[in-house]
A and B are shown apart, each in its own frame.
Chain A
Amino acid sequence: MPKPNLFNWQDSSLLPESGQEYALWQSFKQGDRNAFAKLLNLYYPLLLNYGVRFQRDREFVKDCLHDLFIELWNQREGLDDVRMLKPYLLTSLRRKLVRETKRLRWFREADEVTNDYAFEVQFTIESYLINNEVQHEDLKRLRVHLDKLTKRQREAIYLRFFQEMEYDDIARVMAINYHSAVNLVYESLKLLRKNWFMTVVVAVFSALNP
């Protein structure tokens, strides 16, 4: 297996440089409401996007986020000095979702919350095949292969490619070790990079990206 490259991702342009982020976190810890509001605006949409893939009940995810941020505010003085907020917040949300799901299952009306977490992602190619008049055999085969991805593989792919995260951060969020995180992503790529799949992919996208 080729060695994965460990260079830093260039951070998504929407999010502040980690220096600024650090300053923001410090102001928040000192009780600056504006800094807190800024944090919310920066991270709420991203966290919601992650949460709803994890747990289908959107209101439930929003409730968890609500509580998470209130807790952060109430405990702000005792919080660590965090330099990278994204992995920190994603980890906190993930823990909370797992905990609250377990707690809800305790109650009788818990059916609405799916028992096991499912990680839902839809790839561009799937939507493309559905939206266009592409032979459905290809679509079926694609789905067979995508269905083979485990939820952990999906989550790793999502964190790596959609959230553009480093492997050690992915490992932290998913509570696994570094090598498992690397493996999850490589195994998924191996699964998808079969000959027939490449044929479909290249055929579809050479038309779009000359």
Chain B
Amino acid sequence: MKNYSHYQPDDFVQDPYFRKWALGQLPADDTFWTTWRATHPEQYDTLEQAKSLVVALRIESAPTDPAEVETAIAQILSGIETPVFKPPFFQNRWVQFAAMLVVVAGIGYGFWWNGFPSGRPKTLSNRVDSEQQREEFNSTPSPKTIRLSDGSEVILEPASRLLIKTGFGNVKREVQLTGEAFFQVTKNPEKPFLVYTGNVVTKVLGTSFRIKAYDADANVSVAVRTGKVTVFKQTAGQATRPTLSDEIILTPNQQAVFVKADDRLVKTLVEKPVMLSKPADNQPLEFSETPIPTVFSSLEKSYGVKMIFDPDLLKDCNLTGTLTNGSFYEKLTLVCETIQARYEVVDGQVVIYGRGCK
């Protein structure tokens, strides 16, 4: 057995036997590492660090569709027909004729080259791409529901256009939107869902959100209903590796607005925040002599919107009443009027300014 006593975290991370233990791949009766840990208390922290590193740095596998693999293998196998004997090719009369044709055609092709139709040259094999780029345009006066191959749903508003990119769902799920649409994306952490709208790219793993990106509008907006969404500006060519300064992470009821004129992304709240639908968080918003900090944190939970206030300052303020009906902003106004405070929406959060109560 190896002497592990002087191992550093990096050495453990590299050790195959240790990795198997950290990833829970050892048989249950193999207690080597638990025993070792118990007998080397001075190495306990090192071992735990190494274990976390192994787990954290595990690379997510990109699952392949068994059907896709099967088809590909079948194609290869059908490409290796049993060879038949052929005489040397140049002895064939037809080959000689064909060779002449090639020369003639080559000359003609030289003239024709500039007008050659575009399309990726199939230099490797002549298989037909199964997934072509698909375009949906809603010319009707009412919203149109489009179902994508991964189970995601897009509700396309009138006069809006959705382009589903070639190879959608292979490695990434990429679409391009002009106009407005609501997206309900099926969760799949392996295949990020990307929506391209002019200079703005919205990246999600599985969530629902609305994008408004009409060519005529001055802004592009991305509003989140559920889950988490990353929005960033597209800089020439590189869409998938955003620089951090341009990236905004949105949580429910937040929205990102891209101001075209300033080339700037701003984070704010959606126009009409909705209550989160998680029943566990849906506490009744009924209060009687409830301290204001508690009221705010209930609102915070119900809408998933962060509220910033000074709890010490507001601890003597109370509220009695229900906040079940009305919009988010109406409720906010009501509470603020009660305690003589005002609110501002800053960076997708609500900031309360008040003087406190005596």
Contact = CB atoms under 8 A, between A and B. Distances in A.
B61 A4 contact: no
Contacts, number: 168
Contact of B76 (A69, A112, A130, A164): A69
B302 to A, nearest CB: 16
Interface stretch (A86-94, A171-179, A189-197): A189-197
A5 B14 contact: yes
A62 B69 CA distance: 9
Contacts of B55: 124-125, 205, 208-209
A44 B79 CA distance: 16
A1 B228 CA distance: 41
B171 A40 contact: no
Interface in B1-30: 2, 6-11, 13-16, 19-20
Contacts of A147: 241
A109 interface: yes
B227 to A, nearest CB: 9
B58 interface: yes
A139 B251 CA distance: 14
A131 B59 contact: no
Contacts of B62: 49, 52-53
A170 interface: no
A130 B190 CA distance: 12
B167 interface: yes
A193 B9 contact: yes
A158 interface: yes
Interface stretch (B99-107, B115-123, B330-338): B115-123
Contacts of A5: 2, 11, 14-15
B52 A206 contact: yes
Contacts of B294: none
B14 A124 contact: no
Interface in A141-193: 143-144, 147, 157-158, 160-162, 164, 185-186, 189-190, 192-193
A131 B124 CA distance: 39
Nearest to B10: A189
B56 interface: yes
A202 B8 CA distance: 16
Contacts of A136: 249
Interface string A57-84: 1111011111101100110000000000
Contacts of A144: 244
B34 interface: no
Interface of A: 2, 4-5, 7, 9-10, 33, 36-37, 40-41, 44-45, 48-49, 52-53, 56-60, 62-67, 69-70, 73-74, 100, 103-104, 107-109, 112, 121-125, 127, 130-131, 133, 136, 139-140, 143-144, 147, 157-158, 160-162, 164, 185-186, 189-190, 192-193, 198, 201-202, 204-206, 208-209
Interface of B: 2, 6-11, 13-16, 19-20, 48-49, 51-53, 55-62, 64, 69, 72-73, 75-77, 79-80, 118-121, 123-125, 127, 129, 167, 170-171, 189-190, 205, 228, 241, 244, 247, 249, 251
29 contacts: A4-B14, A7-B2, A37-B77, A40-B76, A49-B62, A56-B171, A57-B167, A59-B170, A65-B76, A66-B76, A67-B125, A69-B76, A104-B123, A108-B118, A109-B121, A112-B120, A121-B60, A122-B60, A122-B190, A124-B56, A124-B59, A133-B251, A140-B244, A186-B10, A201-B53, A201-B56, A202-B52, A204-B52, A206-B48
Which 8 A-B pairs give the minimum distances between C-beta atoms? A63-B124, A125-B56, A205-B52, A58-B170, A124-B58, A162-B59, A201-B56, A201-B52
